[in-house]
Structure 1
Amino acid sequence: MFEKIETIEGALVYHGNMHNRIYFSEAKEVDLGILVPKMKELAKSKKYEKILSKAPERSMDVLTSNGFTVEAKIPGLYNGTIDGYFLADYVNEDRHIKDEKSLKTITSVKTIALAANKPQTDSHFEMAAELTIRKLTPNDFDQLEDLHKKAYKYHPNQIKDVAYFTHLAALNHEFYGLFEKDQLLVSTILAVHKEEANMEIVDFITHPDYRGQNLSYFLVQHIKEKKVNSWCKTIYTMVRATSYGLNITFSKHGFVLAGTLTNNCMVRDTLESMNVWYYKGF
């Protein structure tokens, strides 16, 4: 499996050798006094280098006293009223070292993306008539796996498959795709948290023949229109901090930069820092 997902002491925990990292999301019933030592022990036993936590304000004291530091903040992430934080504990301090060349690129990306920020979508940028967007069903998972195979042709260990999509669907994930006729060109996965009134855009995958056309713009637009101001108060996402295209896309849609997660995950064969962006429709 691409990454192991399990519930430990009431928290949803993602971990695996792919990213050499633990990512846990706290729920109301979690006792951090029990959970944090278990996360540290898991990291030690698996030789993971980083532990990332998404947590509400009330958890700050416990996490910071256990060596976690804040990397990003989303105001009102929980039900529109309670601030949410991404905090990291670097089990291996080398994981926290920032490459000078990457730092310059990340700074440049932020500067250009922030300059592109708009509160509304660009009315002059309209989707071509031959393109359609719809929610995917399990019947589409074979085609979704095929899109991953094309996108990660030279990195087969990062291909998500039908079994993994099925597992995500059982964990309240939704899938959307942009099609030209019946061909899936771009896909995205949404992690839905209705009890928190928020949703995470987990990833975008684009057919290699259609890269550079900014087709993900239309999926973001569709998600905003369908989700925000219904039950969802906040949409957030993690984007490669060195990617001009996606950072500019989210900024153009009125997303706000929340912070940067240092050396957070492997993308293809590179350890990447991730910018956190969030959007509120009110």
Structure 2
Amino acid sequence: MSDQILKINNSIIQHGPFNDRVYLMKLSPDDFAEVPAKVEEIAETNGYSKIFSKIPSSAKNHFQETGHVEEAYVPGMYNGHEGVCFMAKFLSDEREKEQTPDDVEAVISTALSKLNSSREVELSSDEECFICSEKDVLEMATIYDLVFPSYPFPIQDPEYLLQTMQENLIYFGIRKAGKIVALASCEMDAENSNVEMTDFATLPDYRGRGYSYYLLRKMETKMREMEIITAYTIARARSYGMNTVFSRSSYSYAGTLVNNTNISGSIESMNIWYKRLDQM
């Protein structure tokens, strides 16, 4: 089960009971006046407990006036100039309250203590990093299904992987002895020159080898070649591993999205990290 993605005017939203939210994924400049009210109507009609919006900073005041709060901010997300605000409007007290604040704070503190201390990882002779293609989607879907009991998007579906591969995602993998053991993806917004580094998954028997660091480095190189300016990620707030990967790789902490995403079996808070790729 996954939530549906649809267009409202020229904007894109995702909504459904799986994440128990409406997610305004892309707000068109033409829709500033109209879409926020439509999003709220969808949330109230369906009884969702959160509205989550990724919006240009120029729209922040309008959203705040209607009860939204800023949870994270990434500067320069739009072509290196305008920033992005991640806004939330909570429609239940329970959804608004972080259940394990001490755990979340400990992860952030630990990750920040390792900022810029990059980990160099090299592959062995029977390992290779590659860009995934159509022939890989069945194996990829199996890996994602094994690693994630739940996920906010249907990455366990080969057809979804193929569709996104043909649209705006580049999937990277690591093979060991001919078998895919780790994956990640670049979800590109070429129009605004930004990319989400996402969908990191390593099979349990192959963790601890630094594959995520290696993949991230290769992904950044590819995105620089494509002249993408800003990279960001939305990482599980209680994951020491992924938050540390991005902090070590010189990403800056941008904020925490409280009780935001259905991942690995329950709705969890997520941390946002970002990095300018045009500044070495």
TM-score in terms of structure 1 length: 0.91
Quick check: 1:228 aligned with 2:224? Answer: yes
Quick check: 1:116 aligned with 2:114? Answer: yes
More moved, 195-204 vs 220-229: 220-229
Q: Name the counterpart of 2:53.
A: 53
More moved, 163-172 vs 72-81: 163-172
Distance 1:216 1:28, change over 3 A: same
Q: Name the counterpart of 1:11.
A: 11
- Do the aligned residues in 2 keep the contact of 1:263 with 1:272 (CA within 8 Å)? yes
Q: CA deviation at 1:215?
A: 1.6
- Do the aligned residues in 2 keep the contact of 1:2 with 1:164 (CA within 8 Å)? no
Q: 2:124 aligns with which of 123, 128, 135?
A: 128
Q: CA deviation at 1:218?
A: 0.8
Distance 1:163 1:3, change over 3 A: farther
1:137-152 equivalent positions in 2, closer than 5 A: 137-152=133-148
In structure 2, list runs of 5 or more residues that go unmatched. Answer: none
Q: Name the counterpart of 1:216.
A: 212
1:176-200 deviation per Cα after TM superposition (whole angstroms, max 9, x unaligned): 1111132111111321101101001
Q: Name the counterpart of 2:44.
A: 44
Distance 1:81 1:229, change over 3 A: farther
- Do the aligned residues in 2 keep the contact of 1:214 with 1:245 (CA within 8 Å)? no
Identical-pair percentage = 27
- Do the aligned residues in 1 keep the contact of 2:231 with 2:274 (CA within 8 Å)? yes
Q: 1:105 aligns with which of 83, 103, 106?
A: 103
Q: Name the counterpart of 1:75.
A: 75
Q: Name the counterpart of 2:184.
A: 188
Quick check: 1:257 aligned with 2:253? Answer: yes
Q: Tell me the matched-pair count.
A: 277
Quick check: 1:238 aligned with 2:234? Answer: yes
Aligned-residue Cα RMSD (Å) equals 2.1
Distance 1:122 1:208, change over 3 A: closer
More moved, 25-34 vs 70-79: 25-34
TM-score in terms of structure 2 length: 0.92
- Do the aligned residues in 1 keep the contact of 2:142 with 2:156 (CA within 8 Å)? no
Counterpart CA distance in 1 for 2:77 and 2:198 is 16
Q: Which amino acid aligns with 1:115?
A: S
Counterpart CA distance in 2 for 1:202 and 1:241 is 14
In structure 1, list runs of 5 or more residues that go unmatched. Answer: none
1:158-197 equivalent positions in 2, closer than 5 A: 160-197=156-193
Counterpart CA distance in 1 for 2:79 and 2:150 is 38
1:190-209 equivalent positions in 2, closer than 5 A: 190-209=186-205
Counterpart CA distance in 2 for 1:199 and 1:155 is 23
Q: Which amino acid aligns with 2:81?
A: T
1:220-243 deviation per Cα after TM superposition (whole angstroms, max 9, x unaligned): 111112213642010000001111
More moved, 37-46 vs 225-234: 225-234
